[in-house]
Amino acid sequence: MAHLPALIHDLALILCCAALTSLVFKWLKQPVVLGYIITGLLVGPNFTLLPNVTDIKGVRIWADIGVIFLLFSLGLEFSFKKLARVGGNSSITGIFEVACMTGVGFATGQLLGWTNMDSLFLGGIIAISSTTIIIRAFDELKVKNRKFAGAVMGILVIEDLVAVILLVVLSTVSVKNNVEGTELIMALLKLVFFLCLWFLSGIFLLPGILKAGKSLMNDETMMIVSVGLCFLMVVLATEAGFSAPLGAFIMGSILAETTQAEKIESLVKSVKDLFGAVFFVSVGMLIDPVLLVKFAGPVLILTLVVIFGKTLFVTIGSLLAGQPLRQSIQAGMSLSQIGEFSFIIATLGLSLGVIHEYLYPIAVGVSVITTFTTPYLIRFADPFYTKLEKILPRRWQVRLNRYSTGAQTIQAESDWKTVLRSYLVLIITNSVVIIAFILLSIHFLLPLVSDEVKNKTAALIITTIITLMVTSPFIWALTIKKIHKSAYTALWLDKKYNRGPLVMLEILRNVLAVIYLFFLLEQLFTPWFAFVVALIVMVIVLVIFSQKLQYFYSRIEHRFLTNLNARNVIEGTDEKNTISPWDAHLAYFVISPDADFIGEPLMKLQWREKYGINIASIH
């Protein structure tokens, strides 16, 4: 009889059981993710009534691949431009809620007598809501077109990004087994640097590569190329000291900006579903029913913390961001659960060996309960608001309405906001490129040149010249490129308050350019020589080669922006051809009793004729 590897036996057992449980949970109208977790519990080492998985190590490797595909798909749905579109409201709410829930989770862990590391990971576990569960609940309840649903999806975008950052932070803290401010800041700066570098280089290079090979690519080759790029970024991220899921997420977000994003997403979906199912089965395999019963108390406590904490903090965060009370409550009750990212964070803690085993089944137990409660909480949001509206004093409601209106006004575009954003983008993007080229020159180019040119001084000079030639367009942009002209001019004409800060910003970016040049030259020559040469190079860049460098930089910038906006251009063209004659959604507004139109008939106001507004009900 031919020998069959244990892993194949295990996969047959896992997939057949997962197929049955997924059908049962579909029939029960519950998330199939819960079915996969139950499958893992049934075939895992802690349940003896059914055949058990034997090659645990092999299954965990498949589960790791599942995490990679889950994060890759999440990145494909994410895109950095979507992050920019969700605006300040979602950013304020998401960051506020995650920060508060992390703090509450840590405090709860301490009150339960857990270690600092267990408490810290608990904070991360209960901070992130489940995108999968919320999307499914919105579909079933048919509320996707409600205004609060858009706000919830914006908050989820922010949460997903914060979750990726949390993975890096928790990994960094776990290595030292304590929290040191300097190391944490350096880890975050390193993360920002690599995120920007990978995004800039990916957007600049990948669309051109995909376009060049488009005629040769069918669905099969497109999927192979996409998955290959995903795993390449996983390797690069791991080599840079980050986690594999981070690399997958980054490559997904880069490909999300290309014109092939939707096609790649559809091609990868089946592979993601397969490996994702194995991941959730592995989640169930790690559940020990004995531990779950033993820690039933903490599970119930943390379930209440998640439901009430998330509802409260999302509501407060939305109110602080200027959202109406009704929409804030609806968003809060929609986000009161945990899911896939909680499992990933718990798995990270176990793999690093820094948390106790009981934390994992507790996280799964809380997720299962909050998954069941989510649809009911979404339904309960409107009745709860109606009851709260009757209880709240009238003056409180008026103040909330005024604050909401005022906050929306504050968030309107201003000249200073435009100029500061332009400075920030210019400084960060060009600084990242300059630093990347300098590091490449020192660690790769110099050794390569030294092998070919035996004279050490000649090798240093050649390396310096090549590096300066490559970085000079970006040094020009950092020092000379004009900032948003109309907004800058408007601020400059206000002599009394604006010229001083504008001059300081100009000085800052020129000082940064000198520092980068000094850093390059100081690595290769003596400090004084480096300082003098840096100043000379600055003069040459600013005076002699300014026009040529501007031309080169403009070409680079044009290609980058063309690649970045290519998907939007195509979607805009398609939208013109398919858009409906109207774009309607249901919205709720609380009218101030001091409004000018109180008591006026709708026929006289003519809101439909003037603004396209249809009044559905007044209550």
Q: Rounded mean pLDDT of 526-530?
A: 68
Q: Are residues 73 and 183 in the same domain?
A: yes
* Residue 586 backbone phi and psi in degrees, to 5: -90, 130
The residues that bridge with 586 in the sheet, in sequence order, are 146
d(CA 232, CA 242): 13
* Residue 454 backbone phi and psi in degrees, to 5: -75, -25
597 domain-assigned:
no
Q: Are residues 179 and 300 in the same domain?
A: yes
Q: Are residues 541 and 421 in the same domain?
A: yes
Residue 338 Ramachandran class (φ > 0 left, ψ -120 to 50 alpha, else beta) = beta
78 domain-assigned:
yes
Of 569, 593, 614, which marks where a domain is finished? 569
Comparing 260-269, 310-319, 484-493, the range with the smallest average pLDDT is 484-493
Confidence at residue 494, expressed as pLDDT on a 0 to 100 scale: 65
3-state secondary structure of 60: helix
Q: Are residues 76 and 195 in the same domain?
A: yes
User: Are 546 and 539 contacting, i.e. CB atoms less than 8 angstroms apart?
Assistant: no
- Domain of 302, CATH number, reads 1.20.1530.20
Q: Which of 588, 104, 174, 616 shows the shortest CA–CA distance to 381? A: 588
Would you state the torsion angle of the CA atoms of residues 608, 610, 613, 617, taken in this order, to the nearest 10 degrees?
-50
Q: Which percentage of the chain shows pLDDT scores above 70?
A: 82
pLDDT tens profile 487-510:
666 666 665 566 677 778 778 888
User: Are 277 and 36 contacting, i.e. CB atoms less than 8 angstroms apart?
Assistant: yes
Confidence at residue 493, expressed as pLDDT on a 0 to 100 scale: 67
Confidence at residue 58, expressed as pLDDT on a 0 to 100 scale: 80
194 domain-assigned:
yes
**Residue whose token pair is 């990933």:** 344
Q: How many CA atoms lie within 13 A of 282 on its CB side?
A: 26
Q: Rounded mean pLDDT of 376-385?
A: 87
Instruction: Write the CA distances from 585 to 149, 329, 331, 334, 580, integer angstroms.
Output: 11, 19, 17, 19, 13
Confidence at residue 300, expressed as pLDDT on a 0 to 100 scale: 93
402 domain-assigned:
no
* Residue 240 backbone phi and psi in degrees, to 5: -80, 0
Residue 579 pLDDT exceeds 70: no
d(CA 619, CA 602): 15
User: Are 334 and 148 contacting, i.e. CB atoms less than 8 angstroms apart?
Assistant: yes
Confidence at residue 301, expressed as pLDDT on a 0 to 100 scale: 93
50 domain-assigned:
no
Write the DSSP string, 8-55.
HHHHHHHHHHHHHHHHHHHHTT--HHHHHHHHHHHHSTT--SS---S-
The residues that bridge with 146 in the sheet, in sequence order, are 586
More confident residue, 304 or 12: 304
3-state secondary structure of 129: coil
616 domain-assigned:
no
Confidence at residue 1, expressed as pLDDT on a 0 to 100 scale: 46
Residue 577 pLDDT exceeds 50: no
114 domain-assigned:
yes
Average pLDDT, the chain: 80
Q: Which of 506, 588, 550 shows the shortest CA–CA distance to 330? A: 588
Q: Are residues 425 and 367 in the same domain?
A: no
User: Are 290 and 46 contacting, i.e. CB atoms less than 8 angstroms apart?
Assistant: yes
Q: Are residues 447 and 368 in the same domain?
A: no
Domain of residue 302, residue span: 63-383
**Single-letter residue type at 468:** L
Q: Rounded mean pLDDT of 108-136?
A: 87
pLDDT tens profile 87-100:
667 888 888 999 99
Q: Rounded mean pLDDT of 49-66?
A: 80
User: Are 400 and 319 contacting, i.e. CB atoms less than 8 angstroms apart?
Assistant: yes
62 C-beta neighbours (distance < 10 Å), count: 20
Q: Are residues 430 and 367 in the same domain?
A: no
Instruction: Write the CA distances from 512 to 76, 457, 474, 475, 544, integer angstroms.
Output: 34, 27, 12, 9, 20
612 domain-assigned:
no
Confidence at residue 53, expressed as pLDDT on a 0 to 100 scale: 80
d(CA 275, CA 18): 12
Confidence at residue 581, expressed as pLDDT on a 0 to 100 scale: 39
Of 529, 551, 569, which marks where a domain is finished? 569
Q: Is the dihedral of CA 94, 100, 106, 109 positive or negative?
A: negative
d(CA 464, CA 306): 56
3-state secondary structure of 586: strand
pLDDT tens profile 214-235:
788 888 899 999 999 999 999 9
Q: Rounded mean pLDDT of 406-422?
A: 64
pLDDT tens profile 585-602:
555 566 655 566 666 777
Confidence at residue 578, expressed as pLDDT on a 0 to 100 scale: 40
Question: Residue length, the chain?
Answer: 619
- What total of structural domains would you count in the chain? 2
Query: Which residues touch 172 (CB under 8 Å, ≥6 apart)?
Result: 183, 184, 187
Of 569, 592, 609, which marks where a domain is finished? 569
Q: Are residues 189 and 282 in the same domain?
A: yes
Confidence at residue 506, expressed as pLDDT on a 0 to 100 scale: 79
Confidence at residue 23, expressed as pLDDT on a 0 to 100 scale: 92
Using alpha carbons only, what angle is made at residue 477 by residues 475 and 479, rounded to the nearest 5 degrees? 70
Q: How confident is the model at residue 406 (pLDDT cuts 50, 70, 90)?
A: low
Q: How confident is the model at residue 148 (pLDDT cuts 50, 70, 90)?
A: confident
d(CA 134, CA 539): 57
pLDDT tens profile 164-176:
888 888 887 776 6
Pairs from 544-551 (Cβ < 8 Å, separation ≥ 24): 545/472, 545/476, 546/476, 546/480, 549/472, 549/473, 549/476, 550/476, 550/480, 550/481
pLDDT tens profile 234-261:
998 888 878 788 888 888 888 888 888 8
Comparing 54-63, 433-442, 579-588, 608-617, the range with the smallest average pLDDT is 579-588
* Residue 146 backbone phi and psi in degrees, to 5: -75, 150
Q: Which of 475, 61, 150 shows the shortest CA–CA distance to 331? A: 150
Q: Are residues 99 and 212 in the same domain?
A: yes
Q: Are residues 437 and 349 in the same domain?
A: no
d(CA 484, CA 196): 22
Q: Which percentage of the chain shows pLDDT scores above 90?
A: 9
Q: Are residues 379 and 424 in the same domain?
A: no
Q: Are residues 469 and 331 in the same domain?
A: no
